[in-house]
Structure 1
């Protein structure tokens, strides 16, 4: 057992004891964060504009601070980009995390001296919590890989700008840098496929124990290694024992990924975002991710059915209920106020507060009033795959076909790239449809009332999603394929030529 493995255990014990302390006071901790954040930002431009000095209660806060997305906050961000201090948070940000917006182009999300520990320490604590629960720490003595964006940073108004994963790369603890791969030079390569080949060159003969990344891009890494070696991943990396992932639901990828590995290994799910590290899996035995309530973020939750109301209902942590879908709103020590992440979550426990990520508030299909969400299509796919165990899915998306070119009733089109297709496609599609009808009463009513016909399954050619993402300049890194769309743009880009 190496020095990293040995030293990690007392640190893991300490972190878990701290965790237990704030879990026992979750509601109180959140109230304290709200008060602390408002107090520290009272003299900022935003704080003055929203009368922070007059805020005492949560009701005061809701009256003073509206829920907003990036577009509504953009004016304040532009003041920072023009060099002004004390706009959203005292001083100037350390970084801007650059990410893609749907309507505003590039988004610049501030990360401050106060908020950077949320990103870095939370990632560390996810691993240490695993060490404490399982007693497994030897993976820290071998090689670790984090498939991420480039760590090269630009500057705007004297502030470093880059992708969140690249920023985080600059804060990897020194004791892990010596066993971190790939090299800095390789990580700086922008073209994903060139970078991936170089990563394989650097890792293929190394004792890799931990691999981390978004599942579809990790799968692409595995596919290329197997093509090069003719071996399963367990035979290339015998020490590989822990997979860390986030960004998308793992279930659609699980079967193919573990088939590629050739054995079952432990995994840790994380929920990082440019705006903050929200949650991580704190146990291998319970469902859900531990919501990080003592990490510089005051959380609010909007029941999804009220999200688009003129005045949506806003709840603090002690008001949430198990089993209901909520849109996540954060207020943090980076200066994001009433900020809607766009994600939806469902609580599976309130002692401690554990969540499942269920989708995106704007990613749904409701062309006919059915309001199908990401959680429902993923559950339907999981059910069909369990009924057809030969099936392995590479990637999928769902879109409405409002006016079928062949005529007849409209339908939902499921575009799926299979690694191993179903032996009976009709039965597979029927199982998908049946489970979706069970999960969504509105969809069931539309089918029963002959407003929609049963979903249509469209198998896609090999590498359809990779080729599409490459054409969009979004191959690799932290980019994700939307599960659902209310239009046909993605579907048309993926459909076989001539269809």
Structure 2
């Protein structure tokens, strides 16, 4: 065992003991953060505009600060971007994290001196928690790869600006930099396909032990490695033992990814976003994620069915219940205030507080009143594939197909298979039955003969890749929406030519 692996164990034990304090007193931890945030931001423009000096309780906060998304706070964000001080948080932010929004175009999320530790320390703690639980630390002695965006940062009025993953790249601890791949020069390549070729050249003969990234882009990395070597990943990287991922539900990608590897390896799911690092998996036998309640973020939860109400219920951590779909709302030391990040979560446990990410609040299909969400289509697909183990999936998305003729409307599933079903009709029947079990409204529309059963549109290999490339969203932290309430994504996929 090398020095890094050996030293990590006492550090992991120390961090575990330190984190147990807030894990065992979660409500108190959140109350302390709430008070600290309000006090520190009183003299900011936002604090004065919303009478922070009068806020004493969460009820006061609800009365003073409405829930808003990026568009709702855009005037404040624009002032920050223009270089104004003391707008949302004291001073100026260290960085602006540049991210693509589905409705707001490009978004610029502030990261402050106070909030940067949330992103960096949470990622560190996810690994240390794994080491403490499993006793496995040898991966720290090998090479580590983080498939990420470019670390090249622009300057907007004295604020460094770039993708979150590129910003985070500047904060990799010094003791890991000697292990980190790819090289800085390769990470700076903007074109994903060119960058991927260079990553393979730099890693193919290295002792890779940890690989991290969004699953579809990691799969593309594996595909190219196998094509070049004719070997499974376990034979290319015999000591590869830990996969760290986030950003999308892993389950649809799991079978193909592990088949590419050639064996099961340990994995850690994380829940990072430009707005904050919210949770990570802290037990190998439990897929739910520990919500980080002592990391500069105050959480609120809106029952998903109330989200679009004029005055939705806003709950604190002390008020949530298991197995309820909540829209996640955050206030933080980055200067976000009752900010709706767009994700929905469900609590699997309230002792400790653990969640699964259930979908996007704006990613649903309700063209016919069914309100099908991402969690449901992903579960339906996964349960179906479990019954057809030979089927391998690359990617899929779902859109409504509104019939203009005599036939009934239906849900169209645009699916890219690497190994398609032998009988697509039987696969469709099972998929439809699984979705009926998961969503009672959809079931009513099918049994009531209002909707036709779903239809799968198989797409040629490379369709999603070609589409993402055509949108300038190939690689990095970009994700394909799992479902839409319109045809924009579906029609874009059908019109693009594969390469």
Query: One fold, TM greater than 0.5?
Result: yes
Residue 494 (structure 1) shift: 1.9
Q: What is the TM-score of this pair, normalised by structure 1?
A: 0.98
Whole-Å separation in 2 of the counterparts to 1:186 and 1:497: 29
2:488 corresponds to 1:489: yes
Structure 1 unmatched ranges of 5 or more? none
Residue 496 (structure 1) shift: 7.0
2:283 corresponds to 1:283: yes
Instruction: Write out per-residue CA displacement over residues 141-162 of structure 1, whole angstroms, 9 at most, x where no aligned residue.
Output: 0000000000000010100000
2:466 maps to 467
1:57 maps to 57
Residue 404 (structure 1) shift: 5.5
1:197 maps to 197
Indicate conservation of the 8 Å contact 1:460/1:496, yes or no. no
Residue 422 (structure 1) shift: 1.1
1:264 maps to 264
Aligned residues: 497
Whole-Å separation in 2 of the counterparts to 1:281 and 1:81: 34
Greater displacement, 136-145 / 79-88 = 79-88
Indicate conservation of the 8 Å contact 1:461/1:496, yes or no. no
1:29 maps to 29
2:320 maps to 320
Q: How do 1:12-411 residues align onto structure 2 when only pairs under 5 Å count?
A: 12-403=12-403, 407-411=406-410
Instruction: Write out per-residue CA displacement over residues 145-189 of structure 1, whole angstroms, 9 at most, x where no aligned residue.
Output: 000000000010100000000000000000000010000000000
Indicate conservation of the 8 Å contact 2:151/2:163, yes or no. yes
Q: How do 1:441-452 residues align onto structure 2 when only pairs under 5 Å count?
A: 441-452=440-451
Residue 255 (structure 1) shift: 0.3
2:430 corresponds to 1:425: no
2:478 maps to 479
Residue 78 (structure 1) shift: 1.4
Greater displacement, 391-400 / 485-494 = 485-494
Secondary structure at the counterpart of residue 264 of structure 1: coil
2:436 maps to 437
Secondary structure at the counterpart of residue 419 of structure 1: strand
Structure 2 unmatched ranges of 5 or more? none
Secondary structure at the counterpart of residue 206 of structure 1: coil
Whole-Å separation in 1 of the counterparts to 2:82 and 2:278: 29
Residue 497 (structure 1) shift: 7.7
Residue 82 (structure 1) shift: 2.3
User: How well do the aligned residues superpose, as a CA RMSD in angstroms?
Assistant: 1.0
2:413 corresponds to 1:414: yes
Instruction: Write out per-residue CA displacement over residues 477-496 of structure 1, whole angstroms, 9 at most, x where no aligned residue.
Output: 00000000011111112237
Q: What is the TM-score of this pair, normalised by structure 2?
A: 0.98
Indicate conservation of the 8 Å contact 2:209/2:239, yes or no. yes
Indicate conservation of the 8 Å contact 1:279/1:291, yes or no. yes
Instruction: Write out per-residue CA displacement over residues 456-499 of structure 1, whole angstroms, 9 at most, x where no aligned residue.
Output: 0111101010011011110000000000001111111223789x
Indicate conservation of the 8 Å contact 2:115/2:296, yes or no. yes
Residue 102 (structure 1) shift: 2.6
Residue 212 (structure 1) shift: 0.2
Secondary structure at the counterpart of residue 149 of structure 1: coil
Indicate conservation of the 8 Å contact 2:463/2:496, yes or no. no
Secondary structure at the counterpart of residue 251 of structure 1: coil
Whole-Å separation in 1 of the counterparts to 2:119 and 2:103: 26
Secondary structure at the counterpart of residue 477 of structure 2: coil
Indicate conservation of the 8 Å contact 1:400/1:488, yes or no. yes
2:456 maps to 457
Whole-Å separation in 1 of the counterparts to 2:462 and 2:41: 48
